[in-house]
Amino acid sequence: MPRRTPTPAPPPRRARWPYGVAAIALVLVVASVVSTRLRWPSPKPTTVVLISIDTLRADHLPIYGATSVRTPAIDALAADGIVFDNAYAHSPQTLPSHVSILSGRLPFQHGVRDNVGFAVKPDERLLPAMLRGYVSGGFASAYVLRDETGIGKSFTHYDAQMPPASPEVAIGQLQRDGNATLAVADRWLDSLTSPVAPPPTFLFFHIYEPHSPYSPPARFKMYSPYDGEIAAADEIVGRLIDSLKRRQLYDNALIVLLSDHGEGLGDHGEQEHGLFLYRDTIRVPLVIKLPGRRDAGRRVATPVQHIDIVPTILDVQGLPGETGLQGRSLVPLFSGGSIPEQGLYAEALYSRYHFGWSELYSLTDAQYSFIRAPRDELYDIQKDPGQLTNLAPQRDATRVAMRAALDRLTAGASISAPTTVSAEAQERLRALGYVGTAPSTSAPSDNLPDPKDKVQVLERYRAGIALVQKGQFEPALAAFRIIAAENPNMADVWSEVAGLALRLGRNEEALAAYKHVVTIAPHDPGALVSVADTLLKIGRLDEAHEQAAAAAEIIPATEVRWRARTHQTLAMIALAQKDPATARAEAATAHEIDSTLPLPPYVEGLIRYNAGQYAEAVPHLQDALQQSLSSTVQVPELRYYLGDALARTERYSEAEPMLLDEVRLFPYDLRARAALAMLYRATNRIDASDRAVAEITRVLPTPDGRDLAIKLWEMFGEPEKARALARRNQ
């Protein structure tokens, strides 16, 4: 089949009005915008499908003129629908952006401002609740959209179950393969279509394939890694469309395909997303296929935004609009009409929350893109779509007017910490020796570093993360130390220093770094728990108990996972103090807070394991493992203890998969690797045992790793190998 020639995107329609008093008034429409409603011909669509392709940059799709990748499924959907050439997100982060898409409200209105530390408010109405009479299913492929964030609360059925993973994996990298998400969505659709006709259905389908780290299937190796992931995403979209067609749902369906945000790809210095508000990361694809393929092939140049999606879907369905929404129905545009012009808002608070730099805000229309920063930026995106020439100094009147419009739009919207640090909590922290515990979000933004001046620091940080992912811990730690010394308020960098120091056996350095995180980011519950965990590892049990008990008091009730983790730590401290009664009580409390944490049977198993009662420990540990399988974040060492207990009772065939799973999920668990090497020796698989010992020093070339390998060689009666390893490391 000959390659289809992409239709180039037409230039955006030129703004017809200058910025001034009248323009500001138009920008500041904060009540519901009433547009001319199209009387949609009957029957109304009985199926609504919202497809979100995470991190998909608009100008990397052929429908927007790209030639670097082929996307036949998206091309075909666009041919059946309407393509919006200038659609914009309100945030370059996944969770805030999706909450805006599903609520029809701006981030400062719904209150979800970052991927970490925020959740949808209980009284927030999302699209599934607005589609009255519809059965709704949501299927997400990223941990940041897990049900605990509240984003799934309005769906009849919501599934964001990620594969089991270590707590050490960054939440932005916890994902489910899009094909696996499609399989779950297909099963849900099957449950609706058999044995009777399906009810009115809303399907939200999210895939994460274009998100970093990019690892496309080998069949797309002809493309760049990012474009290869786009090709993989397109393939999944094609399978979803085929599924809808098989069920005879496609023709009469309303289908919206979009992305939550784009990707920097090195433009303006940012490789990924989150820091800046240039079009690289906030201009997104938007395709709307109408029932009966009405108005197929139309292109719309009018600037539109994520919060227009909810009013549009409700309008097509003939449902009343929600009060208080700022977005506009796009229905008039479907047939060549117009909608009220509106400045399109976006915000980027990632740099503020994670690094202590200034946040950014932007306002975009058909001609200008304005970015509020310590040094404002203004771009004529008709003449300069790549935003290379900052016109703020030359066009000060426009800059001042757009900045005033932004200020009025966001009036009263403060920047609060992800979780509030109460006065009592701050006093408790000071009593533990912490100082400077005021939230870092309190400083005026114009007095903070401009992200433009810090982008290379962020890229050095991300380069350090890449070193960690490759197992190059010493270079990564050295890089993070330099960044932390130059930027002492970057909490995320100090967290990396602490984690790497702990992994490399530098426990005191790790403890100091975690304490520094608490000082500069007291709202970070993970830092509080990590201080206690590090003290436990060092063996300073009384201090560990004091820190964990304080964390249990300080961490707010909304942080369910971390409140439960404090009691998990208290249970482990009690076990180390040989106090099984307290360990059981803390385990029960942890499970009451977070029912997905299988701590009671785990602690029962550990009590028996520590007493040398390995056979008795096994059923409790098996129970804990079974309970943990439904949770994404797995309990460290659970599989190790179960596998080791099975091996000690000579149930080797059952022990081996447990230890292999532990090593897969927690590759730096030295005890699990040692137990695996000993199991292979016990079952006379000498070559496998030798490889397991060699793997220890390869994966963790640290003093602890080398000492363990030397002890194993000596235990196995191979002193020559032990001496050779010792000599190599002198």
Residue 537 burial by Cβ neighbours in a 10 Å radius (0-12, 13-18, 19+):
middle
CA 244 to chain centre: 28
Q: Quote the pLDDT of residue 26.
A: 41
CB 35 within 8 A of CB 329: yes
pLDDT for res 469: 83
Contact (Cβ atoms closer than 8 angstroms) between residue 63 and residue 6: yes
**Full-model pTM:** 0.86
Please report the pLDDT score of residue 418 as a whole number.
67
User: Which pLDDT tens digit goes with each residue over 569-579?
Assistant: 999 999 999 99
At the topology level of CATH, where does 44-344 sit?
Alkaline Phosphatase, subunit A (3.40.720)
Q: What confidence score (pLDDT) does residue 377 get?
A: 97
pLDDT at position 540, please? 96
- CA 422, CA 428: separation in Å to the nearest integer? 10
Residues of the chain whose pLDDT is less than 70? 1-43, 193-196, 417-427, 429, 433, 435-444, 729-730
pLDDT, tens digit, 9 for 90 and up, residues 532-555? 999 999 999 999 999 999 999 888
Q: Could you tell me whether strands 87-88 and 82-84 are parallel, antiparallel, or unpaired per DSSP bridges?
A: unpaired
Residue 257: strand, helix, or coil: strand
**Do 204 and 138 contact (CB within 8 A), yes or no?**
yes
Alpha carbon distance 261, 269 (integer Å): 17
Sorted by where each begins, the domain ranges of the chain are: 44-344
**How does pLDDT run across 219-246, given as a tens digit for each residue?**
999 999 999 999 999 999 999 999 999 9
Burial 399-433 (b: 16+ CB within 10 A, else e): bebbbebbeebbeeeebebbbebeeebbebbeebe
**Rg (the chain; Cα; Å):** 28
pLDDT at residue number 34: 40
> Residue 674 CB: number of other CB atoms within 10 A?
21
Contact call for residues 62 and 77 (beta carbons, < 8 A)? no
CA distance 422 to 554: 8
Q: Using an 8 Å Cβ cutoff, are 160 and 146 in contact?
A: yes
Of 623, 629, 590, the closest CA to residue 604 belongs to: 623
Tell me how far apart the alpha carbons of residues 515 and 535 are, in angstroms, rounded to a whole number: 11
Q: Which amino acid is at 402?
A: M
